[in-house]
Amino acid sequence: MIKASFKKYTLQFKTPSGTSRGILKTKDSYFLILKDSGKFGIGECGIFRGLSIDDRPDYEDKLALVCDNVQKGEQELYRVLEEFPSIQIGVETAFRSLKAKDPFHIYPSKFTNGKSAIPINGLVWMGEASFMKSQISEKLKQGFTCIKMKIGAIDFKSELDLLKSIRKEFSVTDIELRVDANGAFSSSEALEKLKYLSDLDIHSIEQPIKQGQWQEMARLCEDTPLPIALDEELIGVFSEEKKKKLIETIQPQYIILKPSLIGGFQGSDSWISLSEKMGIGWWITSALESNIGLNAIAQYAFSKNSLLPQGLGTGSLFTNNMDSPLEVCKGKLQYNTNLKWNLKNIIIQ
């Protein structure tokens, strides 16, 4: 008989990390732990305060309800958790983990056996121009060929100058540049800013304007001089009908899938299916989970056989992340089978 429990865990950033929504110093997560016949399964419920649709006062009550009703099984629990996408992925991962031969190999593959790696983008956080420049230099030294830079927190001219300085040294064949505005541009100024960015051979821009403005975003996607990727726009869109309406209305060039924010693996599958029918590209991104959640999302991403660099380079951001076989090497995320998981007696008791 399966027994379930959950535990809160607060991740500490090594360096306070800036986004257009403010400075992040800590990040809460919850671990769902299943035990049955001497085996255990673990899944991360990676709530993102201020961004997750399920950042609600009854979040822990819902986790307790999951634990009390664990005998109902994965699919029934997933179905009743529609408004709690970060718990949905925790449930999916924990049940897969419990059933797996190795609880950390939820999608066994050439990735988990160390034979293949996942190309990822190097993430550059917002801050003073000098801080952002030093991050860029570090990413290039580390062998990244795709860099994602968050913009929208300092003045646009400084951000543009930074991007220009990269392009002076590295052509589009050397470095793929992605930018993420996190909805920082106003509808009236967005197109003009996109024109400036397009001169620098930018691969794509994520969420140039705030989500929820479907008509404005649709016009932007139609007129844009560079590809637009929807990110926050997908959060809180639950039904298949509304997903289809959003995709058909906006017709973006790309969508970005953060499984913890959009209903886990099943939610991501439904977005992928809809976008591929319309010829819309996609990639998968972690949302500041610990290595438990990152591991699950990376294995899922590998199973999808995407050729684009994924957004899975967040594991090294925290001082108190658990030791794992996940490593970033030469711009790729790999699973080093010589390294072991160490949960530091925090989670499994």
**pLDDT tens per residue across span 278-320:** 999 999 999 999 999 999 999 999 999 999 999 998 888 899 9
What pTM was estimated for this model as a whole? 0.94
> Number of folded domains in the chain?
2
pLDDT above 70 covers what percent of the chain? 97
Give the span between the Cα atoms of 9 and 344, in whole angstroms. 12
Concerning whether 195 is annotated as a catalytic residue, the answer is: no
**Cβ atoms of 86 and 54 closer than 8 Å:** yes
Of 99, 130, 151, at which residue does a domain stop? Answer: 99
Checking if the pLDDT of 213 tops 70, the result is yes
Residues 279 and 147 in one domain: yes
Give the span between the Cα atoms of 304 and 235, in whole angstroms. 21
Of 43, 72, 99, at which residue does a domain stop? Answer: 99
**Residue 342: inside a domain, yes or no?**
no
**Residue 66: inside a domain, yes or no?**
yes
Query: What CATH number corresponds to the domain at position 88?
Result: 3.30.390.10
**Residue 252: inside a domain, yes or no?**
yes
Lowest mean pLDDT among 21-35, 59-73, 127-141, 325-339: 127-141
Residue 123's pLDDT is 87
Concerning whether 115 is annotated as a catalytic residue, the answer is: no
**Residue 126: inside a domain, yes or no?**
yes
- Expressed as residue numbers, the domain containing 70 is 3-99
Residue 54's pLDDT is 97
Q: What is the pLDDT of residues 38-53, one digit of tens each?
A: 999 999 999 999 889 9
pLDDT band for 18, please (50, 70, 90 cuts): low
- Interstrand relation of 22-36 and 3-19 (parallel, antiparallel or unpaired): antiparallel
Pick the catalytic residue from 139, 150, 210, 243. 150
Give the span between the Cα atoms of 9 and 42, in whole angstroms. 13
Of 66, 99, 132, at which residue does a domain stop? Answer: 99
**Residue 113: inside a domain, yes or no?**
no
Give the span between the Cα atoms of 33 and 42, in whole angstroms. 5
Residues 304 and 251 in one domain: yes
Residue 171's pLDDT is 87
Query: What CATH number corresponds to the domain at position 137?
Result: 3.20.20.120
Residues 150 and 179 in one domain: yes
Residues 203 and 149 in one domain: yes
Lowest mean pLDDT among 49-58, 166-175, 250-259: 166-175
**Residue 323: inside a domain, yes or no?**
yes
Residue 150's closest CA among 129, 183, 126, 134? 126
Residues 243 and 327 in one domain: yes
Pick the catalytic residue from 27, 148, 210, 258. 258
**Residue 340: inside a domain, yes or no?**
no
Residues 95 and 122 in one domain: no
Tally of residues, the chain: 349
Residues 135 and 282 in one domain: yes
Residues 64 and 155 in one domain: no
Residues 89 and 224 in one domain: no
Q: What is the mean pLDDT of the chain?
A: 93
pLDDT band for 19, please (50, 70, 90 cuts): low
Residues 205 and 258 in one domain: yes
Residues 44 and 150 in one domain: no
Give the span between the Cα atoms of 315 and 334, in whole angstroms. 12
Give the span between the Cα atoms of 198 and 268, in whole angstroms. 29
**Residue 253: inside a domain, yes or no?**
yes
Residues 245 and 275 in one domain: yes
Q: How many alpha carbons lie under 13 Å from residue 4 in its C-beta half-sphere?
A: 23
